Structure 1
Amino acid sequence: MRKLTYFVATSLDGFIADPDGGFGDFLFEGDHMTALIEKFPDTLPAQGREALGIDVPNRNFDTVLMGRATYQVPDGLPSPYPHLRQYVVSRTITDTPDDVSVIRGDVLEEVRALKAEDGLGIWLCGGGKLAAAILPEIDDLYLKVHPIVLGQGIPLFDGAFPMTRFRHVASRPFTSGVVSMVYTRP
């Protein structure tokens, strides 16, 4: 069975984006980016991969799952991750490129079906509401904690959900101030 990993940047106060869905306050330069590119090149959008000359096979994920707001970030691409199978969870989106599928129904059922398939992992790349809705199926958390306090915005988990325990697996501080923290289900 494949794993679902919530791999996301977060502020010190637990926000994955500002109130408008932007993430321009997060750090995009520094040694944490070098590590990200080396270990997780499959998490870079097409324009980033192209600019950096990255053309390697996917190492960790072959599928990406996004909430509507994550998919429709300002200046976003209509197909941000063409090197992955792309799924957007939305009841309102009606028009996407052929390589972006829209999940409109029971998202937990759809995620369970994706996890039952063969392949690499599934990356939940954003969507606080989506993360809360599918928390029972999240196997791993990979948090890139940035040294910023936003004060408000889109929470890491946004909505009602039961208390859920994870076990700390690893931490890695970077000179940029970002700390990667990895958790898994016990």
Structure 2
Amino acid sequence: MRKVSLFIAMSLDGYIADSEGGVSWLTGQGDDSENIDSYSEFVKDIDTILMGRNTYHQLVTELSPDVWVYDDFITYVITHEENVSSDKIIFANENPGDLIKKLKEQGGKGIWVCGGADIVQQLVNENLIDIYYITVIPTILGSGIRLFENGTDEIKLKLLRTQTYNGMIDLIYTRR
């Protein structure tokens, strides 16, 4: 069965975006030459992405308005809005957990849960995330959009690996 991975960054105090939804703070403490490319290593085992409508909107209007950065993947966007799907971007008006369960039954590589916080929390509440790749950014935001909020059950994890670079820490956990 396909693995579902959360690959995301958060501030030291647990936020994935500031109170305006911004992510300009997602940098290390020095220059980018100190960064390790954990993203390229991660996506080698991924062919499907799941994201919420707000994450999609931020990508296409702010972060990369001229080019779809995930063209090598099939992306599912959870939304209640009517949108026209393409071969690479599929708009789905369904429960994220139900969609993940269907996708896990299909052939293919891993599934990346890209964001946002509401989608992540629903999948965490259903214990559908197999591997947690969380990069902690050396910033305290104080407020914003929290990664984990109001979980329903305790989920015990096992630390697989850590990695530090440029003041950031990659934490990789699997379910126990």
Say whether the fold is shared (TM-score over 0.5): yes
Give the corresponding residue for 2:152. 161
Separation in 2, partners of 1:101, 1:130: 16
- Counterpart position of 2:38: 36
For structure 2, the 5+ residue unaligned runs are none
Q: 1:37–1:90: structure 2 CA closer, same or farther, 3 Å change rule? A: closer
1:8 aligned residue: 8
Q: How many residues matched?
A: 167
Note the C-alpha offset of 1:31: 2.8
Residues 17-69 of structure 1 deviation map (CA, whole Å, 9 limit, x = unaligned): 1122221011172433x3325523x4xxxxxxxxxxxxxxxx12000011111
Deviations along 1:124-144, one digit per CA (max 9) or x if unpaired, are: 111111001111210010001
Residue of structure 2 equivalent to 1:47: none
Provide the aligned C-alpha RMSD in A: 1.9
Structure 1, unaligned runs of 5 or more: 43-58
Cα pair 1:133 1:159 within 8 Å, conserved: no
1:31-180 equivalence runs, <5 A: 31-32=34-35, 34-40=36-42, 42=43, 59-73=44-58, 74-75=61-62, 76-77=64-65, 79-95=68-84, 97-135=86-124, 136-174=127-165, 176-180=166-170
Give the TM-score normalised by structure 2: 0.86
Structure 1 residue 161: Cα displacement? 2.8
Percent sequence identity over aligned pairs: 31
The one-letter code matched in structure 2 to 1:20 is: E
User: Could you list the per-position Cα deviations for residues 82-136 of structure 1 after superposition, in whole angstroms to 9, with x for gaps in the alignment?
Assistant: 1100001111353455521112122211110101112111001111110011112
Contact kept? 1:173, 1:179, Cα under 8 Å: yes
Segments of 4+ in structure 1 off by > 6 A? none
